[in-house]
Homo-oligomer: A and B are copies of this chain.
Amino acid sequence: MAAKRSGAQNKQFQQTSVRLQPVQEASREPLLSRERIVATAVELLDAQGIGGLTMRRLADRLGSGVMSLYWHVDNKEDVFDLALDAVLEYRGPPQTIEPQDWRGEVVHMLEDWRASMLRHPWSASLLPRRALGPNILSRLELLSKTLSRAGVADAELNAAIWSLWNYVMGATITRASFDLSDDERATAQLRLTRLSERYPTIERSRLLLDNDWDGAFRKGLDFLLDGLAPRQ
């Protein structure tokens, strides 16, 4: 009859009620935990893509019954949200960046963000449709603070933040989806070649095959930053 825990998680260790018998430890470790579930979900998503995450498969990997997951997690959407945020943590800029170099800080954070999503290609397409977790909010907060410090007026701050967000998301989603299916892309280019009388220009430039994604990303980002805030 246990009333299912609603949303908020146990946090069994927040009250530092002194555990008696600290000696025997193996007995009372619960098999499942939010952390273990999320970590395994990320593994599964990395290995099998977005369609590969299944409550049954997840439980299998964890060696538990399917319904046991629901004690720790509200539903599958919850798992997605948690996995997504887990992948978006930011540890801050390296020490090599001067504190007054706002542009370097912004670029580092955004490139790190993009790299994190490309390491987990399912995450990019997921981010726009899910609620914003704490880690992505921290990134936005940092972005906001840094731009403000760089002299962007309050009235233009939101527009600047969303412009950068949009650019990073668009670039990363596109890039990630191209990674997913190298052969599909080749097939598409082949189909394109067959129709080259209809699309001669993009066929000639091998649009679907040749692109320096990283360089193009950095270049467009620079253009955007040039426009959004005065060059230092």
Listed in ascending order, the chain A residues whose CB lies under 8 Å from chain B are: 125, 128-129, 131-132, 134, 137-138, 140-141, 144-145, 148, 154, 157-159, 161-163, 165-171, 173-174, 177, 180, 184, 188, 192, 198-202, 205-208, 210-213, 215-217, 219-220, 222-224, 226-228
Contact = CB atoms under 8 A, between A and B. Distances in A.
A52 to B, nearest CB: 14
Contacts of A208: 132
Contacts of A201: 141, 144-145, 148
Total copies of the chain: 2
A22 to B, nearest CB: 33
A199 to B, nearest CB: 5
B159 A219 contact: yes
Contact of A170 (B132, B169, B219): B169
A173 B128 contact: yes
A174 B165 contact: yes
B220 A167 contact: yes
Contacts of A213: 162
A202 B159 contact: no
A102 to B, nearest CB: 14
Contacts of A137: 192, 198-199, 202
B227 A223 contact: yes
Contacts of A188: 131-132
Contact of A165 (B125, B157, B161, B170): B170
Given A137-B192, A144-B201, A154-B205, A169 B173 contact: yes
A180 to B, nearest CB: 8
Contact of A168 (B128, B170, B210, B222): B170
Contacts of A169: 169-170, 173-174
What 4 A-B pairs come out closest when comparing CB atoms?
A: A170-B170, A223-B227, A166-B170, A159-B216
Contacts of A140: 199, 202, 207
7 contacts: A140-B202, A157-B205, A166-B174, A169-B173, A170-B173, A224-B224, A226-B227
